[in-house]
Amino acid sequence: MEGFIRTMQTTLSFLTPAELETESLVAIALDQSEKDATSTDQSASGKRKKPQLNLAAGDGAVLTVAADLLASGELTGEPFESNLLHKPAGLKAKRLLLISGGAAKKFTSYDLRRIGGAAVRTLKARGIRSFAFIAPPSIPAEEAVKAIVEGALVGNFDPDYYRSDRKDQKIDALTIAVSGNADHAALEKTAREAQIIGESQNFTRDLVNEPSNRMTPTILADRAKKMCQQVGLRCEVHGPDKIKEMKMGAFWSVAQGSDEPPALIVMTYEPAGTPAKPVLGLVGKGITFDTGGISIKPADGMEKMKYDMAGGATMIGAMRAIALLKPKVKVIGIVCAAENMPSGKAQKPGDVQIAMSGKSIEIINTDAEGRLVLADGLFYARQLGCTYLIDAATLTGGVVVALGYANAGVFANDDAMYERFHKASGEAGEKMWRLPLDDEYKEQIRSTIADIMNTGGRAGSAITAAMFLKEFAEDTPWIHLDIAGTAWMEEQKPWIAKGPSGIALRSLVEFVKGLSN
Ligand code: BES
Ligand code: MN
Ligand code: ZN
């Protein structure tokens, strides 16, 4: 289903918050006590130490309204604790929402982004459609505006399209109250850019949320084409014949088992007057459903494999953001979309496939299909002239074993590129953790009959999957993001709904901005 990304209007205000006429003012309460609020330290009485709560807002009238509640001793000060006051005296706002941000000493824009999302989710659940958020003065204004806008947009998304009882509760308008003598024009630009990034992240989540009967490779390609048309990107989609003609034997080996034709989606952003190099290639795994193929998955939880195209959807959303932000660097987005199915035409364990690069692959497990489609996607990107590569994929259950749900796995064959990416993901507020790619791991994917096997056993399986990809990135600086544990929220959180997270898009966009400088 399409068209549910209703945009949220964002406005900056430089008025004192008390003067803002709004459905609700939102202010952050921070715990100033020396002991950090999340530690297990206990006071002499055996109870947790009482927090010393203060508002992260410079406005005297707002402080006065909140003072009694903050001093009452009723609050824990734990992150996301919320209280809504009606008709706050001395304010033009109809309500004041206080949200706790936890310990003041540890409060960063990473937390602020989540508070922004939590404010949206708290207020829209009450049917409120607009509010004003007081930017905390402790965070530089530009960083704060970016975090609030992005976080609010993330919070505004809900994946309940197919429920007849959808409440359709959305925030339509957000005002951010900024104090101090900030550069207004620069802040407006920051807000506009953050809006593009947040909307693109929701565009990606929209694609990921669709079940496989409504998001086939063909439909994914159509959605990419439509988006490209809207934002002025070149988009080509290659079908089965072209994929075979280009000798993408690894990609085709996955696609051959399904009645749904695969799609190779190629989106090009080439702004006028940019240098020929660098060229960044963004390659996404677009498996619209992963049954495992002949090495079929167990029934329990298989329905989740509709999100196995999250890496591809991330690249499509990233290209949208890039087209609208217009950085001065060439970027090519490539999505290898296919369904992994068992059938009379499906590949079988033991089969040998020849990838586009010429390397031969012994198929040990047809469920290790993501690395097969990406092998040809990465090689193709290099053929198109990419000098940097980033892929994103829900590639392995192994990365979930290694890192759980909090961090995406990052792999890199180039330390300088990794450092740039690490900086970008930090600014984007996305948690990622680097895993190694030592030569020793290559032994696990050595084959007797072919150049390489498509699985390396249980030990370090996220790493051996990345080692497989490395064979196709070769000497091109490359980063691999394994988002299997982070692309889908298993539970709702105060700042985000259960369902697709849109992870990695913001880091990719930040990285591209860095490349163009
Ligand atoms: N799509 C899966 C990985 C996955 C697991 C994504 C959990 C999201 C959540 C991938 O294609 C896969 O099946 N990987 C196998 C590879 C194994 C057969 C070598 C895995 O990691 O178990
Ligand atoms: Mn699989
Ligand atoms: Zn898969």
Mean pLDDT to the nearest integer, 231-238: 98
Minimum CA distance residue for ligand 1 atom 9: 484
The reported pLDDT for the residue numbered 317 is 98
CA distance 9 to 415: 40
Residue 356 pLDDT > 80, yes or no?
yes
Task: Judge whether 428 and 510 are in contact, CB under 8 Å.
Answer: yes
Ligand 3 center–CA 193 separation, angstroms: 33
For the CA of 368, the closest atom of ligand 1 is 16
Ligand 2 center–CA 486 separation, angstroms: 16
The reported pLDDT for the residue numbered 43 is 47
pLDDT band at 35 (very low <50, low <70, confident <90, very high): low
Residue 227 pLDDT > 70, yes or no?
yes
As a three-state string, the secondary structure of 221-264 is HHHHHHHHHHHCCEEEEECHHHHHHCCCHHHHHHHCCCCCCCEE
Residue 232, CA distances (Å) to 8, 70, 107, 227, 322 in order: 22, 51, 39, 8, 11
CA distance 104 to 435: 32
pTM of the model: 0.96
> Which residue of the set 95, 371, 420, 470 is catalytic?
371
Candidates 396, 455, 467, 481: which one to mutate for ligand 1, based on the most atoms within 8 Å of Cβ? 396
- Which residues make Cβ contacts (< 8 Å) with residue 192, sequence separation at least 6? none
Read off the DSSP letter of residue 49: P
Q: What is the mean pLDDT of the chain?
A: 95
Ligand 2 center–CA 368 separation, angstroms: 5
The reported pLDDT for the residue numbered 7 is 85
The reported pLDDT for the residue numbered 167 is 83
- 114-158 pLDDT tens trace: 999 999 999 999 999 999 999 999 999 999 999 999 999 999 999
pLDDT band at 3 (very low <50, low <70, confident <90, very high): very low
Which residues approach ligand 1 with their CB closer than 6 A? Answer: 290, 308, 365, 367-370, 394-398, 400, 455, 461, 484
Measured from the alpha carbon of residue 291, the closest ligand is 2
Percent of all residues in the chain with a pLDDT value above 90, rounded to a whole number: 92
CA distance 292 to 335: 19
Residue 146 known to be catalytic: no
Candidates 367, 371, 403: which one to mutate for ligand 1, based on the most atoms within 8 Å of Cβ? 367
Minimum CA distance residue for ligand 1 atom 13: 367
The reported pLDDT for the residue numbered 47 is 55
The reported pLDDT for the residue numbered 34 is 77
> Which residue of the set 297, 359, 442, 493 is catalytic?
297
- Which residues make Cβ contacts (< 8 Å) with residue 344, sequence separation at least 6? none
pLDDT band at 49 (very low <50, low <70, confident <90, very high): confident
Residue 210 pLDDT > 60, yes or no?
yes
DSSP string of 199-222? HHHHHHHHHHHS-TTS--HHHHHH
Paired residues of 28 in beta bridges? 99
505-515 vs 415-428: helix axis angle to the nearest 10? 120
CA distance 144 to 243: 46
Cis peptide bond N-terminal to 278, omega within 30: yes
57 compared with 265, residue with greater pLDDT: 265
pLDDT band at 294 (very low <50, low <70, confident <90, very high): very high
Residue 37 pLDDT > 90, yes or no?
no
For the CA of 400, the closest atom of ligand 1 is 7
37 compared with 479, residue with greater pLDDT: 479
Percent of all residues in the chain with a pLDDT value above 70, rounded to a whole number: 96
Measured from the alpha carbon of residue 288, the closest ligand is 3
- Which residues make Cβ contacts (< 8 Å) with residue 209, sequence separation at least 6? 159, 161, 499, 500
Minimum CA distance residue for ligand 1 atom 8: 484
Ligand 1 center–CA 57 separation, angstroms: 46
Mean pLDDT to the nearest integer, 52-74: 95
- Which residues make Cβ contacts (< 8 Å) with residue 307, sequence separation at least 6? 208, 394, 487, 488, 500
Candidates 347, 395, 435: which one to mutate for ligand 1, based on the most atoms within 8 Å of Cβ? 395
The reported pLDDT for the residue numbered 495 is 98
Q: Residue-wise over 449-472: b if at least 16 C-beta within 10 A, else e?
A: ebbbbbbbeeebbbbbbbbbbbbb
- 465-505 pLDDT tens trace: 999 999 999 999 999 999 999 999 999 999 999 999 999 99
The reported pLDDT for the residue numbered 38 is 52
Q: What is the dihedral of CA 370, 373, 374, 379, to 10 degrees?
A: 160
pLDDT band at 278 (very low <50, low <70, confident <90, very high): very high
Ligand 2 center–CA 308 separation, angstroms: 8
Residue 94 known to be catalytic: no
As a three-state string, the secondary structure of 474-494 is CCCCEEEEECCCCCEECCCEC
Q: Name which of 366, 368, 360, 325 is nearest 347 in CA terms.
A: 366
CA distance 177 to 180: 10
Measured from the alpha carbon of residue 365, the closest ligand is 1
Question: Starting from the edge strand earliest in sequence, which strands make up the sheet with 408-412, in order?
Answer: 234-238, 263-269, 330-340, 279-290, 388-393, 478-482, 408-412, 432-434
Question: Residue 264: how many CB atoms within 10 A of its CB?
Answer: 27
Residue 41 pLDDT > 80, yes or no?
no
Mean pLDDT to the nearest integer, 395-412: 98
CA distance 192 to 171: 17
pLDDT band at 373 (very low <50, low <70, confident <90, very high): very high
Mean pLDDT to the nearest integer, 386-400: 98
Mean pLDDT to the nearest integer, 24-48: 70
Task: Judge whether 509 and 419 are in contact, CB under 8 Å.
Answer: no
- 419-449 pLDDT tens trace: 999 999 999 999 999 999 999 999 999 999 9
For the CA of 292, the closest atom of ligand 1 is 13
Mean pLDDT to the nearest integer, 226-254: 98
pLDDT band at 180 (very low <50, low <70, confident <90, very high): confident
Q: Name which of 281, 385, 269 is nearest 327 in CA terms.
A: 269
Paired residues of 481 in beta bridges? 392, 410
Residue 36 pLDDT > 50, yes or no?
no
